[in-house]
Amino acid sequence: MILCIDVGNTNIKYGLFEGDTLKVSFRGATELKRTSDEYGTILTNMLSIQGIAKESIDGAIISSVVPALNYTIQHMCAGYLGVEPLMVGAGLKTGHNLRVDDAREVGADRIVNDVAAIQKYGAPLIVIDFGTATTFNAVNEQGEFIGGAVAPGIRGSMDSLVSGTAKLPRVEIETPRCAIGKNTTTNMQSGIVFGFAGLVDYIVRKMKKEMKNPDVRVVATGGFSEIIAKEISCIDYVDKLLTLRGLKHLYDLNSSVGKN
């Protein structure tokens, strides 16, 4: 089995594949101060709960937007699983050209999402990831990343609203019945959910216009993708497993890693 690890700013997502089938997935908090032993203990415990022996893992691949954790997670894979993981970055074959000013600035997660979306849905595409940041990737007819946009994340925007004010409470991020809220909670929910829906709709329309193709398909992933997709018609597909499947695809392209 192949372990795919997506290290994000807020969470680390794990997916275990047997062939092309995702057998299990889970996530944990991203903590910079945790050691490789701590991460290894968490991972092996999660595998044990799922009834999976760590010896059954034949390889691993990591995508990370937190450079400070790269060595820690790599060391964890080597020490606890006995595999040297592939790392998404320079030198890894992706088959995905980046037509931007500096390819080194493009986050590994954005590349992985594009690869998975192209494989499953075809190009051209706009790929939106509702994560710690809200990212928009524009992919042309040739399957090339031609640029995009980065907006604040939904959770971070709510946190900023609460921490920056004296009286606003922390509320659940869910869709209110009306845009005109009748209390503080529904006022905040309206501003966050409908505000981000409007942001997404406008950016997608602008991108389609610049791509000169009104029929570009839009794929969304990430924690709040379903909530926003229900409010606007521009999102064609919601795929919560996009990143993990992209990692598995990249592993298959670069499958020279095995057990130590």
> Which residues does the annotation mark as catalytic?
109
Element (H, E) at 172: none
Per the structure block, which two tokens stand in for 54? 């760590």
The string over 146-182, giving b where at least 16 C-beta atoms fall within 10 Å of a residue's C-beta and e elsewhere, is bbbbebebbbebbeeeeeeeeeeeebebeebeeeeee
CA angle 181, 203, 205 (to 5 degrees): 105
d(CA 217, CA 246): 18
Give 239-243 contacts, CB < 8 A, sequence gap 24+: 239/116, 239/117, 239/120, 241/15, 241/22, 241/25, 242/113, 242/116, 242/117, 242/127, 242/129, 243/6, 243/13, 243/63, 243/109, 243/112, 243/113, 243/116, 243/129
Q: Is the peptide bond before 152 cis (omega within 30 degrees of 0)?
A: no
Going by the DSSP 8-state scheme, the letter that residue 170 receives in this structure is P
Question: How many Å is the Cα radius of gyration of the chain?
Answer: 19
